[in-house]
A and B are shown apart, each in its own frame.
Chain A
Amino acid sequence: MLASAAETAPVAALARLMERGTTLLQQGRAAESVELFRRAAAVPDAPALAHGLLAEALEASGKLPEALDAADRAVSAAGADPAWLRARARIRRALGQHLAGLDDAAAAVMADPSDIESKSLLGICLSEAGRHDEALLLLHQAFSAEPHSAQRAALLAFAFLRAGRYAAAEEVFALAEAMAPQAPGIAALRAQNALAAGEPERAAAIAEAAVARCPGDAPLLSVLGQARQRLGQHAAALDAYAEALRLDPASGYLRHLVAALGGEPPPARADSRYVADVFDGYASRFEASLFALGYRVPGMMLRMVERARPEVAAGRAKLGPVLDLGCGTGLMGATLHDLLGDALVGVDMSPRMIEEARAKGVYTRLDCRDIEAALREEQGLYDVILLADVLCYFGDLDGVLPALRARLAPGGLLLLSVEAAAPEARWVLARTGRYAHGEAYLREALRSAGLAPREFRSEPIRWEGENPVQGHVVCATSEG
C-alpha cells in the first residue's frame, strides 16, 4: 500500500482514471465519474479525451457552465474533433445558446462531412433557427443513411413541422410511428403537427390511439388535452391535462392548464416554468404570430411615451435607463430604439426569447430570469419600465406593482398592458391560460402601489380570429 504514494506512476494512474471514469459514465453513474475526469483533465498536457469526457460527465450531472468550460478545452486540445464539437453544441443548446450551438454543429459537419450524427445535430439546430431548407436537406441525408431508424425519421418530420410543411411532416411522422409504435414521443409530435395544420380532430384521434397503445405518457396526454380544448371539449381536455399532471406532478405548465380549465383553484400568478415553456416553444414564430394577430401594444406604448416626453419625441432629449420586463424577442426595444439615450435592460424567462432579443442588438444587457426575482435583485432606478403583455401571467397585482414602483426613478414612466376582464371582476384566469383584469381592480392596485395613471386607455390590443381582445394600456408615474 506504500506504492500508492504521491505521483509515482503517472501513466498508469492516468490510464486508470480514464478507464474507471469511462466505465462509470457508461453505467449511467456520470456524477460519480466527475472527479476522475477532473483529475485526468488537470494533468499537464491532458488528452482531449479527458476534457471531452469531463464535459460529458458534467453535462449529464447538470453542471452546464463547468461542462462548457471542459468542452471548450476539449475542442481546443483536439482541434476539430466532431465528437467534442457536438458535445459543446449540445451543452450550449442546453444553456440556451442556440446560435453558438449551431456554429459548433456546423464546425462538426465541416470536420467530418460524412458523420451522420453531426449532420443530424446541425439539421436540428438549423431547423430551430428557422433555416428550414438547409435543415431539411441535412436531416433528409441523415434519414436516408439510416432509413430504418425511427428517430432519424422523427427528426426529419419534426423539421417539416417547424417549416410549416404539415403534409410532408404527417407523411414522415406516420412512417416513424409505424417503425416505433411504442414510442409515445413520436405520436405526440405527430398529433402536434395535426394541430398546427388546423386539424384538431385528427390530432385527437392520433393522440387517443397512441394513449391506448402506451398509457402513462404525460406529453402525449398534454397534446390530447390541447386537441380536445381546440375542439371545445373542455371537460375531456381537463381529464387529459389532469391525468398528465398526475404523471408529471412537478410540471408547472400542466398545473397551470389544469387550473385554467377549472380543475384546481387558480394560482395568484402563472408558474414561471409555464411561461418559459410556452415561449420557448414559440420563440421563433413569436413575432410572426403576433403581427398576424394585429398586436398593437408596442405602437400604443411608443405613442404614450412620446406624449409624456414631448422633448424626447422632438429629438431634443433622450430617455434615461429603460427596463423592459418580459422583453420577449425584443419588440419593445426595437420600437423605442430611436428614443434611447441610456441603458436598455431586457428580462425574460425564456432562453430562446432572450436569444432572439439579443440578435436585435439594441439591448445593453439581457437577463434570463423571473421578473419578480429580477425586481428583487435589481438595484438601479429606471426612467422607463415596460411591461408589454406581461401582466397577463399575473393574477394578483398587489405584490408586483409596489416592487415596480420601487425601481422607478422620480418622474419615471411605468407602461403596462393587460387583457380586460368584466369591469366588476378583480382578476380571472381564462381558459387560454392567461389572466385578465377588471378596470376598477387595476386602478385600485395602481393607487395602492402609489402609481398615478397619466393615460389609461381601454381598447382592443389584438385580434383572436374575428374577435378583438379588449385590454387596458396604462402609462403611470409615481405619486408624490
Chain B
Amino acid sequence: MDGLPSREALAAALAEMAAGRPARALPTLRALAAASPGDAAVQLNLGMALMDAGHLAEAEAPLLAAAQAAPQHPEPCFRLARLRHLRGDPLAAESFYRGALARAPGHVASLAGLAEVARSLARPEEAVSLLREALLHAPQDAGMRLALARALVQSGQAAKALEELALPLRVGGPAGRLGAVWAEALRARHGVEEARARAEEEARAHPLCAARAAGLAALCEAEGRGGAALSAWRAAEALAPEDPDILAGLAQSLARHRDHAAALDAFERALALAPDEPGLRVGRGEQLWRLHRLSEAAEALRAALRDFGPDERTRATLALVLVSQGLQEEAMEEAEAAGGENALLLGLTSVGPYHPEAGRAEALAGRARALHQRLSEGLLPYTAPPPRAEGPLRLGLLSAHFGKHPVGWLTVAGIENLPRDAFEVDVFSLGDRPGDIAARFRARADAWHLIEPGTPDAVLLERLRAAQLDILIELGGHGQGGRVRLLRHRAAPVQIKWVGSQASTTGTPNIDWMLTDRWETPEGFEPFYTERLLRMPDGYVCYAPPPAAPPVAPTPAGFSGAVTFGCYNNLAKVTPRVLAVWARILRALPEARLVLRTHALGDGPTREGFTARARAAGLDLARVEMHGAVPHDQLLAAYGEIDISLDPFPYTGGLTVCESLWMGVPVLTLVGSSFAGRHAFSHLSNVGLADWAVFSEEEYVAEAIRRASDIPALAALRAGMRARVAASPLCDGPRFGSNLAAVLRQAWEGRDGPA
C-alpha cells in the first residue's frame, strides 16, 4: 500500500471506530495490517476494532504484534489485559494491567481495570486503594467515583460509599448508574426496607433528581414492590430521557409487567444510545419474541451473537424463538450450544419436548437427572411448621397464570371445588390478571398474596415460608414466569408440580410429587420422573369451558362432501415428521383440506419458512389454509370450519384438545412417551374417546383416512360431543375437587415415605 492512501484509509477506519461501527473498520484495518505487520498503530487499532465488534478470539494476534512493535507503549498491554478480562481470565488480565502501569504509572484505565479484577477476586480493599489512586489522576471522572463507591460497599464501608456519592448526587453524573450504586450503598447501610424509605424521603426533597428516582426504583424492586418500581422508573425516564441505564431499567420493569410493546420501545430507545450493550440487544430480541415478531427476534439475536460472540442468554433466547418458528432441530442445537443450566432447562421444558428424539421420555429423564444434581448444591435449610393436630390443611398455590391462561382454564374448577373445611387455600399470584377466571380463584382463596412482578427469589421464598404451608402446588414450571426452580430450597413439607409448563418431569430437588393420571404416566413410567407420581383417578386436569363459547356448528363436511382437517396448535409442535404424516393423509384423500391457525403464521417470514418446509414434506399447499392468531372467541368459532383436529406430536395438544372437543371437533392423537406427549391421550380417555388415540405414525395415517371416510359418523359424534364432554369427568368440578382433596391428603400422609 502507498503511504498516502493507507493514511487516509486508516483515518477513515478510525472514524468508523469512533462512530461506534467497529465492524465497518475491519476490512480496511485487516488489509493495512497484512500490508505492514510491523506497524504498531495499525495492529493496535485492528485489535481494538476486533474487540469492539465482539471478535475476541481474533483480537489476540494483532494486539501481541502491537506490543512487540511498540514495547514501551502501555496501550497494547492494556488492551491485552482487557481482552483477558473479557474472556474471563482475571489473573492473566492482572499481569497485563500491571505491565501497562509499569510503562505508564498513571494509566487510569489500567488502574480501574486492576481494581475491577481485585473486586471480582473478592479483594475489595485493594480495589478501593487502586480507585482512590486513579481518582487522583482523574478527579472529574464520575464513572471512576461510582466504581470506588461500589468497591466501598463491597468492602463493608457503605457509609463511606454514601459520602463518595454525595458529590455526584449534587453535581450530577450518569443518572442510571449513579442511582444503582446509591441504592446498593443505601441497602448495605440500612437494610432494604429502611433504604427504600430513605430513598422516598430523598426523592421528595429532590423531586427532579433522576438518579434518586432510579435508585428508588431499584430499591422497590429489591423489596418486591414491582408496581411502585415501574412508576419510579417512569419518573426517572421523564427526568433523564436520554439515560440508557434508566431506559434499560424501565424496559425490564415493563417486560416483567408483561407490557411487551412498551418494553420493546424502551429497549429500542436505550439501544439507540448504547448500541454496544449486549443485554439490551437480547432484551429487545426477547420482546420481539413475546410480541410474536419471530423473524425479527431471530435476526436481532443472531446479530447480537455475531457482534458480541457466543453468549449463554442470547443463545437460550434464540432457541426459544426458533422453536416458536417450528424449527425444532435448530432450536435444540442452539439450546445445547447455550450450555450450562440453560441447556438443561431448555432441553427439559421449552425446547426439548417438541423435538422428535430429544422429546422422548428417556432423553428428558437424562437431562432431568443432570439438572437435579446441579440444583442440589447450596440448598438453604428448611424447617417444616409443626403439623396441626386437626383442622384443614393449609394449601399454597404458586403461579403467574391465575386467569385466562391454560393453567386457569384447566385448574380453576378443581380448585374452587376443594372442600373448604378440609383445605385453606393461600394463593401466591405472580402478578395480577384481570377477568372472571381470576375472580373465581380469588373467590375460593382464603388468602391472596400478590407477588409483584420482579420480586427477588429471596423475598418470594420468605413469603412462601412465612405462610406456614402444609402443601404447595407449583403451576408454572420452568416456563416463562415459572418459579419452580426456587422451590428446590423448599417452602412446604409437601411440594407438588401441577399444570403450567408441565411438559416433563421438573428435575428439581424437593419437588416431591407430580400430579398426573394413569394415561399420562401408567405403571412403569416412574423412572422417567424425579418426582413421585400422584395419580388422579380420572384425568389430571379439570376443564372450565368458557361461558361465552359459541354453539357447536354442524359438520362442515356435511355441506362440502369432503373432510376438512385442522390444527390450531402453535408451530413449535408442528415438526417435519408431523408435516410428512399430514402430507400422506392429504394424498390419500384428494378432496380433503387442512386449516392451520396460530400466532406464528401471522409473521410473514416465519410463514414463508414454514410453507417451504410444508412443501418439502410433500403437502399440497393448494389444499392448506394458513391463518394467524385471532381473539379467543373467534378461535373457538373457527372450529366450525373443521371436521377433525389433527393433533401434533411429540408435543401434543392440551387446552387445544379440550377446546376442540368442547366445540364438537374430535381430535386424532399420536401417543408419545413424555408428559407432553400424552396430554391429548389423557383428555380423550377422560371423555371416553380413547379410540381416537393411536400409537404409531402408520396408525395415525390409517385412522385419519378411515374417520374421514365416514361423514355420517362424524356428524353424529359432533352432535352429541358437547353434552358428552360436559357430562364427563373432564368437566366435573365437584368430582375433581373431591378427588383432588383425596390425593392431596394421600400426599400429605405419605410425606415421610421413600422418595
Task: Give chain A's interface residues, CB within 8 Å of chain B.
Answer: 1-8, 10, 13-14, 16-17, 19-21, 24, 31-36, 38-43, 216, 246-250, 255
Contacts of B238 in A (CB 8 A): 13, 16-17, 19-21, 36
Is the CB–CB distance between B207 and A250 below 8 Å? no
Bound complex: CA A12 to CA B750 (Å): 65
Which A residues are CB-close (under 8 A) to B231? 31-36
Q: Which residue on chain A has the smallest CB distance to residue B173?
A: A5
Answer yes or no: B244 CB below 8 A from chain A CBs: yes
* B203-234 contact mask (Cβ, 8 Å, vs A): 1 or 0: 11111111101001000000000011011101
Q: Does B440 contact A (CB under 8 A)?
A: yes
Shortest Cβ distance from A23 into chain B, in angstroms? Answer: 10
The number of residue pairs between A and B whose CB atoms lie closer than 8 Å in the complex comes to: 110
User: B175 to A249, Cβ gap below 8 A?
Assistant: no
Q: Does residue B558 face the partner (Cβ distance < 8 Å to A)? A: no
A35 contact set on B, CB distance < 8 A: 213, 216, 228, 231-232, 234-235
**CB-defined interface of B149-175 with A at 8 Å, one 1/0 digit per residue?**
000000000000000000001111111
Q: Which residues of B contact A31 (CB under 8 A)?
A: 227, 230-231
Q: Which residue from A1, A17, A38, A41 sits with its C-beta under 8 Å from B243?
A: A1
Identify which of A2, A8, A17, A24 contacts B174 (C-beta below 8 A): A2
Tell me whether A17 and B172 are in contact (CB under 8 A). Answer: no
A-B contacts, 21 of them at CB < 8 A, read: A1-B240, A2-B173, A3-B242, A5-B175, A6-B206, A6-B208, A13-B239, A16-B238, A16-B239, A20-B237, A24-B234, A35-B231, A36-B235, A39-B213, A39-B235, A40-B207, A249-B416, A249-B436, A249-B439, A250-B439, A255-B443
Closest partner residue, chain B, to A36 (CB atom): B235
Name the residue on A nearest B209 (C-beta): A6
Chain A CB count within 10 A is highest, among B176, B230, B239, for B239
Near A by CB (< 8 A), chain B positions 622-662 give none
User: B73 interface residue, CB < 8 Å from A?
Assistant: no
A10, A20, A24: which has the most chain B beta carbons within 10 Å?
A20
Given contacts A32-B231, A40-B207, A43-B208, contact A17 B273 (CB under 8 A): no
Report the minimal beta-carbon distance from B102 to chain A, rounded to whole angstroms. 32
B688 at the interface (CB under 8 A from A): no
User: A17 contacts which chain B residues (CB < 8 A)?
Assistant: 235, 238-239
- What CA separation (Å) do A248 and B240 show in the bound complex? 44
B interface residues with partner A (beta carbon < 8 Å): 142, 169-176, 203-211, 213, 216, 227-228, 230-232, 234-235, 237-244, 246, 273, 416, 436, 439-440, 442-443, 547-548
CB atoms of A32 and B208 under 8 A apart: no
Contact B443 A4 (CB under 8 A): no
Residue of B228, B238, B240 with most chain A CB atoms under a 10 A cut-off: B238
Once the chains are docked, how many angstroms separate the CA of A8 from the CA of B206?
12
Across the interface, do B228 and A248 meet the contact criterion of CB distance under 8 Å? no
Asked whether, in the complex, the Cβ of A250 is within 8 Å of the Cβ of B442, the reply is yes
Q: Chain A nearest CB: distance from B146 CB in Å?
A: 12
Interface-centre pick from B210, B235, B436, B547 (highest chain A CB count, 10 A): B235
Q: B172–A2 contact, CB under 8 A?
A: yes
B contact residues around A4 at 8 Å (CB) = 172, 174-175, 210-211, 239-243, 246
Tell me whether A250 and B172 are in contact (CB under 8 A): no
Structural contact, B142 and A39, CB atoms closer than 8 A:
no
Q: How far is the CA of A35 from the CA of B230 in the complex (A)?
A: 9
**Which of B203, B208, B228 has the most C-beta atoms of chain A within 10 angstroms of its own C-beta?**
B208
- Give the residue name and chain of the A residue nearest to B230 (CB): A32
- Smallest Cβ distance from B149 to chain A, in angstroms? 16
User: In the complex, how many angstroms separate the beta carbon of B412 from the nearest chain A beta carbon?
Assistant: 10
- What's the Cα separation between A34 and B220 when bound, in Å? 14
When distances are taken between beta carbons in the complex, the residues of chain A under 8 Å from B210 are 4
**In the bound complex, what is the Cα–Cα distance between A336 and B172 (angstroms)?**
67
Interface contact A32-B240, CB-CB below 8 Å: no
Measured CB to CB, the closest approach of chain B to A123, in angstroms, equals 32
**Alpha-carbon separation in the docked complex, A187 to B547 (Å):** 23
CA distance A36 to B547 in the complex (A): 41
Whether B207 and A42, one on each chain, are in contact in the complex, defined by CB atoms closer than 8 angstroms, is yes
CB of B443 within 8 A of CB of A250, answer: yes
Would B439 and A39 count as touching, CB distance under 8 A?
no
Closest Cβ of chain A to B394, distance in Å, is 19
Pair B211/A39 contact, Cβ less than 8 Å:
no
Of A1, A36, A41, A216, the residue contacting B234 (CB under 8 A) is A36
Residue of B213, B231, B243, B440 with highest tally of chain A CB at under 10 A: B231
A245: nearest chain-B partner, CB-CB: B443
**8 Å CB contact of A1 from B175, B203, B207:** B175
B444 to chain A, nearest CB (A): 8
Is B174 in contact with A16, judged by CB distance below 8 angstroms?
no
A21 CB contacts on chain B under 8 angstroms: 238
B142 and chain A: residue at smallest CB distance: A2
**In whole angstroms, how far apart are the Cα atoms of A32 and B246 in the complex?**
15
Known: A13-B208, A20-B238, A36-B234. 10 other contacts (CB 8 A): A4-B211, A4-B242, A6-B208, A16-B239, A17-B238, A31-B227, A35-B213, A39-B208, A41-B207, A43-B208
Give Cα distance in the complex from A7 to B213, angstroms. 12
CA distance A3 to B171 in the complex (A): 11
Docked Cα-Cα span, A7 to B205, in Å, equals 12
Nearest residue in A to B174 (C-beta to C-beta)?
A1
